[in-house]
A and B are shown apart, each in its own frame.
Chain A
Amino acid sequence: MSHELQMEKTSSKNTLIIIPAYNEEGSIARVVRNIRKQVTDADILVVNDGSQDRTARKARESGAQVITLAYNMGIGSAVQSGFLFAKEKGYHFAVQVDGDDQHPPGEIPRLLAALQNGSDMAIGSRFVEPTGYRPSLTRAVGIKIFSFLVSFIVGKRVYDTTSGFRAISRQAIVLLAETYPHDYPEVEALITLHRNGMSFVEVPVEMNYRQEGKSSISAKAGVYYMLKVTLAVLVAIIKRRNGE
């Protein structure tokens, strides 16, 4: 396994910002530049998830480090590749940001600040405070169901379980580098953290809604999404913990 291989970090920075990107040549450079402008003391890693377009080159030109997956593996595996990278290179914190400009980089310092209180994950949340986000009816129902399920399991109110805008601690990096779902990973990852005795907090953020590209979840995939994630959550409760 990978832990025998020790990699040298190329910079002295403690935080790695991970951007999974699949065919995002239109927006990736802007996303990377925005992040670099707003967050100076972090390295940026674009995980090129088997794109067919020039995502990798655009990302590299805008100053990000780029790793390229040999084929399109899905958002979960792409993000996990970033966690693996962060783990091997010894980063203390990792932040996950979408490659389509949805997540405001100005909020990254607030997410990281939330980890200072000992939490292992800070979720950029759309629903803790009223924001401009108006999901469609079906999506709103799904969001409510997961919120209810996760809240029930972890024993505290969790509003935004599907947000992909997150910062995690070293401990969580190590855990999620080993255990992370390959598709629709957000909800299940919360249960994984909880089951391994880690905590998470929600940080209210205002997001931008879909400038370029579509949601990774189409209407047709919605049913699969609901079934898969619900099953995954229920299974996660009875799954053995790491090392058990």
Chain B
Amino acid sequence: MHRHPVVSRRTVLGGLGAAAVTGLAAQPAQAKDLVIGFIYVGPKDDYGYNQAHAEAAAMLKKMPGVKIVEEEKVPETDDVSKTMESMIKLDGATLLFPTSFGYFDPYMLKMAAKYKDIQFRHCGGLWQKDKHPMNTGSYFGYIGMGQYLNGIAAAHATKSKKLGFIAAKPIPQVLINVNSFALGARSVDPTITTTVIFTGEWSMPVKEAEASNSLADQGIDVITCHVDGPKVIMETAERRGIFACGYHANQAKLAPKGYLTGAEWNWITVYKQFLADEQGNKPLPNFVRGGLAENFIKMSPYGPGLNDAGRKNVDSVKAEIMKGGFAVFKGPLKDNKGNTVIAAGKAFPETAVELESQNYLVEGVNGAIA
């Protein structure tokens, strides 16, 4: 936010200083090593969103010519600007992956304007060619398909025909997952309902545990979620003797009996690609997206709770998805208030931009957005 006349002069001075400092700081890390910074909003071992990134970072760490610096629990405030700047100035990082959604605007954009030689790639899909600088970019995966497969698995495991979904906030990204899960289940048995509970926060283990218990009390026998760290949800489900489908990372360890399968990120695909481009002196892509077919996401191995019919069903739909063009959202589709949200004859594959402003819960979902 520099706009005073006096600032522009200082920015120039600061830039010179930064260049000098970067030159010095880069030396301890072998001159040829590429220093990559990873920034996480939560703990690296949250069995969820952050762990999915940290696992990929750990794989990257083993590759030659790379030095990884990581920082966890960095809030979406000016703190993250300082973390980025600190990685650039004190560690000599030249490629940064700020992985949380809220890091993008204004923090990463501000840093990208200040450090034009540094590459920033943000997880979230917000980058737009006409709006954002070329040393920034975004990458994201279509994980809704994974939740659709979760839904199919859940439909084969449920006896009560009632499923549960614990969600953080009623925003499009989350709604796509809730709706995909419900539609996956209904593709197997249209009488199945999905009850959704919004906790209001990305990470609030107490509420998540309460929600899990309350869903189990209602006779719901399979739950899944979209919160940053699904740990407590999986553990509660296991304790209550119900099934669970994972999200973000593999949580089978937390629920050895009840874990059916899960929708996982497979970020190493993306990071390897960026690394290869950077080491080959090729320009890094600015906008990267992919789904199951592109290996950006993957499914957890099946748990003991999923029967053979369920496994076959998930496998066959997955094969269908891998062919490309598969649409979960197709008309005629009604929301849970009875309004038609997608007209007959229309179909939106996972890449459709129309889905990115989704603001409804589909028929068969119990719950409300506002």
Q: Does A pair with B?
A: no
Binding site for A on B (CB under 8 A): none
Binding site for B on A (CB under 8 A): none
